[in-house]
Amino acid sequence: MSELHHPPGCTCGAHNDTPLDEGRRRMLRSLGALGAGFTLGPTLAMGALRDPSDRAELVDARAIQQGKAEKFTILFTSDIHAQLHTHDEFFLENGKPVYRKRGGYGVLKTMIDTLRAEDPANTLVIDGGDCFQGGGVAALSEGRAIVPLMNRIGYDLILPGNWEVVYGKENMLKDLGGYRAAKICANMWHEKLADYCGDMQDPNADLAGEMIFQPYWTRNIGGIKIGFIGYNDPLTPKRQSPAYSCGIKFTKPELNVAKYVRILRDYEQCAMVFLVTHMGLAQQVDLANKPEVEGVDLILGADTHERVRTPIQAKYSKVVEPGAFGSFVARLDVVVEDGKVKDSHYDLLDVDPEKYPADKGMLALVDEMSAPYKEQLGKVVGSTKNTLVRYYVIENPMDNLITDALMWKLKPDIAISNGFRFCPPIVADGRNPTPITNDHLWSMIPVDSDAKYGEATGQQLWDWLEQELHNVFAKDPAKRFGGWVVRFKGMTANFTMHNEKGRRVNWIKVGNKPIDLARTYLIAACERDGDPDDTLCRLEKVKNPRRANVTMHTILRDYFAAFSPVAPKVEGRITATDAPPTLLSQLEGYAYEFR
């Protein structure tokens, strides 16, 4: 059975821990002597990866067969984004996109059941967050319809992701409270409502200063005790509409992670310590380079939908991510002998419907949860001749479609769309137009926000684009927002990603003319709840802000009605001097390739 703990002498309501200094590091090493008797710690080798024969050799080792050694397995998913059904998934092979059917809750259920059946008593199933948003059923039920599906999978441990806040704090607590799995997060705190929250009510206002979730979770498995500490992205209130996080405070992991590693290693006597984080690959690798995480064996990361097939080695720990949309499951096998970790094997596995036929009971439950919304979401609203994909960091066809529609409907000088990452590909076969439904709209634009106008000078636009590029390519990974480059129509731009902050933009054109820094331009974008009235898609202090009296989904439906089949493509609206238009990851400096 799982064990849920407050730390000894718990001060969960106090979150003013200071970063680990050298004295505390020495204490950690000193007090770690007890744990050192149980584990190889963060020096653990992850085995020969992506080679089934190596895993078979590990699993079938003589010591295990003779009962001298034990094995446990961790199965890890994240960023499912409410994708209920098997869908087309993007792969890159020989430099070209290839699409294959992957994912779906029915297939995921069969696969996890199959993998868990190999050793049910010694298998843990973990999810790293972002389940409640990204599809129509989730949006229209405010996440409630996803809870029974996750419970049927049988997760043991859940971390809330940055999009779990999308329906507000109260809904987040109720939805996550419906999970049978344990929940952890060591950096989300109850706080008093901010001024921008208006007359919103918080029934948990009396809990201000206390942790929302347990900070860590432990489990006896495979002959040892292991522990998990959870962290959400501290930038969540800036990345998403601020109103979503009303009543929630986020803090940096560095403020208390060393404390919890020490508690797990020295008091809970955990032989292995894992972080479960939803911060984005660049931030997670940066965290793994910080001395505060000394003693962490592996960071089970999430958020940027990266497919880490070989754990990324940083100074103090390793990092993985398991892709997105329920298309992949990460598997870690660990061999334990005489209370010590002896070997391990990590792999990233495809959720393949040909290998794992969909579980009929799960399919029936998906149909049941979808039934109230089926007619509305299944309605075809348009079609496309070109594949709509969103995996490219700099520019992609899906967001070009959205900004095309904004420009057509609202007729501004410049139309802007946020740098969203989610929505599986909508694949065109080159013969017949591919239908687009209302459900697709919820995947493309997760909140049906009002469209909004504002006026800004050329200088404001230049400075704003510099900041947006910094959010994506900051040399300090902790300052990266995790999203892709902002999208637009009506202007073109060129930048150098490796330049210093404030010096990345090389040129901007509005229409076909160089931007006039003194001229005022009309901008159209979507409203972000909780932003100041004069902020438009993080472009601050715009003049004459006003709503357009139409929502983003309505704009897209009107555009499809007028122009289907559409055919958006990458066309050089924004280019980089030092990166290809097909850039697929923000992480640099490591032997990692998205594929």
In which band, very low, low, confident or very high, does the pLDDT at 52 lie, cut at 50, 70 and 90?
A: low
Confidence of residue 482 (pLDDT cuts 50, 70, 90): low
Does residue 231 contact residue 80 with C-beta atoms inside 8 Å?
no
Pick the closest to residue 44 from 430, 439, 340 (CA basis).
340
Residues carrying CATH 3.90.780.10, the chain: 379-576
Nearest to 161 by CA among 320, 246, 321, 278: 278
User: Cβ–Cβ contacts within 10 Å for residue 550, how many?
Assistant: 13
Cβ atoms of 586 and 304 within 8 Å: the answer is yes
Q: Which among 179, 174, 130 is positioned nearest to 152, based on CA atoms?
A: 179
Spatial CB neighbours of 285, under 8 Å, sequence gap ≥ 6: 312, 314, 319, 477, 587, 590
B/e letters for 257-284, b = 16+ CB within 10 Å, e = fewer, are bbbbbbbbbbebebbbbbbbbbbbbbbb
CB 48 within 8 A of CB 345: yes
Residue 64 has pLDDT above 80, yes or no: no
In this predicted structure, the answer to whether residue 251 has a pLDDT above a threshold of 90 is yes
The C-alpha atoms of residue 292 and residue 242 are separated, in whole angstroms, by: 29
* Average pLDDT estimate for 530-556: 93
**Which two three-digit tokens encode residue 359?**
């579980």
The pLDDT tens digits of the residues spanning 346-355 come to 999 999 999 9
CA–CA separation, 168 vs 147, rounded Å?
16
First-residue to last-residue Cα distance in the chain: 37
Min mean pLDDT across 267-271, 362-366, 559-563, 586-590 is at 586-590
Q: What is the pLDDT of residue 210?
A: 96
Is residue 278 pLDDT above 50, yes or no?
yes
- Cβ partners under 8 Å of residue 43, min gap 6: none
Peptide bond into 565 cis (omega under 30): yes
CATH class of the 72-291+300-310+319-360 domain in this structure: alpha beta
C-alpha–C-alpha distance, residues 182 and 179, integer Å? 8
* Cβ atoms 463, 559 nearer than 8 A: no
Average pLDDT (58-68) is: 72
For residue 34, pLDDT beyond 90:
no
**pLDDT band at residue 5 under the 50/70/90 scheme:** very low
Q: What is the DSSP string of 194-216?
A: PGGGTT---TTGGGTTSBSSBSE
What span, in angstroms and rounded, lies between the C-alpha atoms of 161 and 158? Answer: 9
Angle at CA 315, nearest 5°, toward 310 and 318?
30
One CATH from 3.40.462.10, 2.40.30.170, 3.90.780.10, 3.30.70.120 for 379-576:
3.90.780.10
Domain with CATH 3.60.21.10 in the chain: 72-291+300-310+319-360
* pLDDT tens per residue across span 256-268: 999 999 999 999 9
Answering whether pTM is above 0.85, one says yes
CA distance 545 to 534: 6
Q: What pLDDT is attached to residue 7?
A: 38
Average pLDDT of span 162-177: 96
Q: What pLDDT shows up at residue 483?
A: 73
Give dist(CA 287, CA 277) in Å, integer.
10
Structure confidence by residue, pLDDT tens digits, 114-146: 999 999 999 999 999 999 999 999 999 999 999
Cβ atoms of 281 and 306 within 8 Å: the answer is yes
CA-based nearest residue to 27, from 287, 259, 215? 259
DSSP string across 386-452 = S-B----SS--HHHHHHHHHHHHHH--SEEEE-----S--B---SSSPEEEEHHHHHHHSSS-PEEE
